Amino acid sequence: MIILLSIFFSYLNVFFKSKDYIAIFFGVVINISVLASIYTCRVEKISQKYLILGSLSFLIGFICWNIDTHFCATLREYRKAFPSISFLFQGHMWWHVLTATGGYFLLKHRQLILWY
């Protein structure tokens, strides 16, 4: 179902070329994935830890992405002012890192559910 929903929203993205639309779609897909994991979650503590870590990682990455979107000009100024730590002000980069990490944790969570 998630794959069909992703294909459908990708098709709609051709018509609605907006960062806000992409952000909403991303949030919907992640929330559906997390809710599906919660629904199928058993009581194994380690599995729940992966679910929580993955969800928090996605949430923090989403916040970084939105901060970068809304305060891009300010963050560019900070990158110029502090070149040695400019990577800290790359919100879009942190979004990629944190969503990849969150994806790993959610896959690990799903793997543990299927094994037990």
DSSP collapsed to 3 states, 62-91 = HHHHHHHHHCHHHHHHHHHHCHHHHHHHCH
d(CA 51, CA 34): 8
Does the annotation list 92 as a binding residue?
A: yes
d(CA 106, CA 112): 10
Residues with Cβ < 8 Å from 102, sequence gap 6 or more?
53, 54, 55, 56, 57, 58, 61
Which one, of 30, 36, 44, lies nearest residue 113 by Cα? 44
Residues belonging to the binding site for Zn(2+) are 92, 96
Residues belonging to the binding site are 92, 96
